[in-house]
Amino acid sequence: MPISFSIDKLARFALGGVLVVYALSAGAKVGDTLWPEVRIRGFGTLGANYHHDDGVRFRRDISQAGGAESGRISLVQDSMLGLQLNVSPHRQWEISAQAVSRLTSEDNFDPQLTWGYIKYKPLEEAALRFGRLGVESYLQGDSAEIGYANLRIRQPIIFYPRTHDGMDAEWSQPLAGGTLRFKGSAGWTQGESVNSGVIYDTGGSELLGAVAEYAHSGWTARLAYYHLLLHDELNDLKPGARLAQLVAGLPNGAAIHETLTLKNRSIDFPSFALAYDAGPLQAQASYSIYSSPHWSMRHLFYATLGYRVGDFTPYLSYATQRTDRKFIATGIPNGAGLDSLNQAATNAQTAFMVNQSDFGLGLRYDFADNMALKFQADHIRYQDPESIVDASLLSQSAENRSTRSLTVFSVALDFVF
């Protein structure tokens, strides 16, 4: 599904928008201040993880290269620092930017621009934004890094990619004592993911999305649909790469290649979520589907429940991702001296399967203004993991892979300023 506008046109439009903003701010009318309103905010998390499973590394999400190793306290998986800048030169215009320093696919903490947009409100109930924006494919999708805004230390399932360069349009309207909101977005995703130690750049992939949401008396119901068209190919499948050559020589190589290739791959992602936040009770649940041609459909579900008593909020959560484990055989029988090739081809197909569940139990302590201390334990069971790197899985055929488990203990200090 191609997107009909170019990055160059978008850049020119954004630059024109900046010039208009400054023109409007210079000639502000009655009721506007002489100088633009400028707000600077920040947020951060100092986190620590620990587990004791040898040969296993735990990651916060698939955008991280490294993981917490067994028997060592890791301070890098959940730790981050972010700054937000908002400039309002006119009541209809706003310029926003957010930079976050967190562990990246390059295994460093180089700051990344996660927001950077111009917002225009032609009407009180409508808004247009242009620039770098968050992907709102799930609840709190644009605040995944702001730990203080989330009940858990990290969201049960973190979807990727999380940012895109483009535009969105939002319209809201009061309805039956609540608020109805619609949003449409289009653009090109940004960010890198890491699978089996291999970095994949989502940059330039086309994204279309739509969100419908209704909020009333603490309840929020949300339906979202996103369509992603990946731009680049896996390095291992590019012309001349060893894996590409091996797959091409297999009897069923064409079918296996269709399963592994990411070039021009179309992915659909519908989701439904329901949340309640009023008084001491916080609860949310979400069900999503992740589908693409030649892939088994992935089902994703998570639910979180917390109840505040004074400054303390105990919470529990459950998350699961399930994929049918259907493999395409190479066409070469075992026992022909190529068993290792058959195993490698089968294992490679699990890169796009996820079979993992997470039961979490935690406690949040809001001990000071804008600060919270959290303690959390996660018991994770996995067969085809996403947030776990287990090198021993490659030593056996994926078809015969057993279910394993890991318990991770985490503590985090979240703050905003």
Q: Which residues of 367-385 are buried (b: 16+ CB within 10 A; e: fewer)?
A: eeeeebbbebebebebbbb
pLDDT at 198: 84
Amino acid occupying residue 134: G
Provide the token pair at 146: 């702001």
Identify the burial level of 199 via C-beta atoms within 10 angstroms of its C-beta, where 0-12 means exposed, 13-18 middle and 19 or more buried.
middle
Q: Which residue has the tokens 């949310």?
A: 284
Query: Where in the sequence is the domain holding 389, given as residue range(s)?
Result: 7-416
Q: Does residue 229 sit within a domain?
A: yes
Q: Does residue 86 sit within a domain?
A: yes
Q: Which residue has the tokens 């010039």?
A: 19
Q: Does residue 1 sit within a domain?
A: no
Q: Does residue 135 sit within a domain?
A: yes
Q: Which residue has the tokens 């069971």?
A: 381
pLDDT at 34: 65
- Asked if 350 contacts 399 with a C-beta cutoff of 8 angstroms, the reply is no
- The SS3 call for residue 290 is strand
Distance (Å, rounded) from C-alpha 112 to C-alpha 294? 33
> What does the chain come to in residues?
417
Report the CATH number at residue 164: 2.40.160.10
- Asked if 295 contacts 259 with a C-beta cutoff of 8 angstroms, the reply is yes
Q: Does residue 180 sit within a domain?
A: yes
- Asked if 404 contacts 392 with a C-beta cutoff of 8 angstroms, the reply is no
Please tell me the total count of domains within the chain.
1
Show contacts of 111-118: CB within 8 Å, 24+ apart: 114/82, 114/145, 114/162, 114/163, 115/84, 115/142, 115/163, 118/14, 118/17, 118/18, 118/21, 118/93, 118/94
pLDDT at 90: 87
Q: How far is CA 400 from the centre of its chain?
A: 30
Ordered per-residue pLDDT tens for the chain, 417 residues: 434 444 454 444 444 444 444 444 444 443 455 678 999 999 999 999 999 999 999 999 999 987 999 999 999 999 999 999 999 988 899 999 999 999 999 999 999 999 999 999 999 999 999 999 999 887 877 778 899 999 999 988 888 889 999 999 999 999 999 999 999 999 999 999 988 778 899 999 999 999 999 999 999 999 999 999 999 999 989 988 888 888 998 999 999 999 999 999 999 999 999 999 999 999 999 999 999 999 999 999 999 999 999 999 999 999 999 999 999 999 988 876 778 888 888 888 998 899 999 999 999 999 999 999 999 999 999 999 998 999 888 888 888 899 999 999 999 999 999
Measured CA to CA in angstroms, residue 65 lies from 57, 379, 389 at distances of 10, 22, 10
Instruction: Supply the pTM of this predicted model.
Output: 0.87
Q: Does residue 117 sit within a domain?
A: yes
Q: Does residue 227 sit within a domain?
A: yes
Q: Does residue 2 sit within a domain?
A: no
Please, which residues have CB within 8 angstroms of residue 51's CB and are 6 or more apart in sequence? Answer: 58, 68, 70, 406, 407, 408, 409
pLDDT at 176: 96
- The SS3 call for residue 349 is helix
pLDDT at 21: 45
Distance (Å, rounded) from C-alpha 217 to C-alpha 215? 7
Distance (Å, rounded) from C-alpha 154 to C-alpha 148? 10
Q: What is the dihedral of CA 290, 293, 294, 299, to 10 degrees?
A: 10
Provide the token pair at 213: 């949401």
pLDDT at 3: 40
Distance (Å, rounded) from C-alpha 71 to C-alpha 149? 30
pLDDT at 18: 47
- The SS3 call for residue 226 is strand
pLDDT at 33: 55
DSSP 16: H
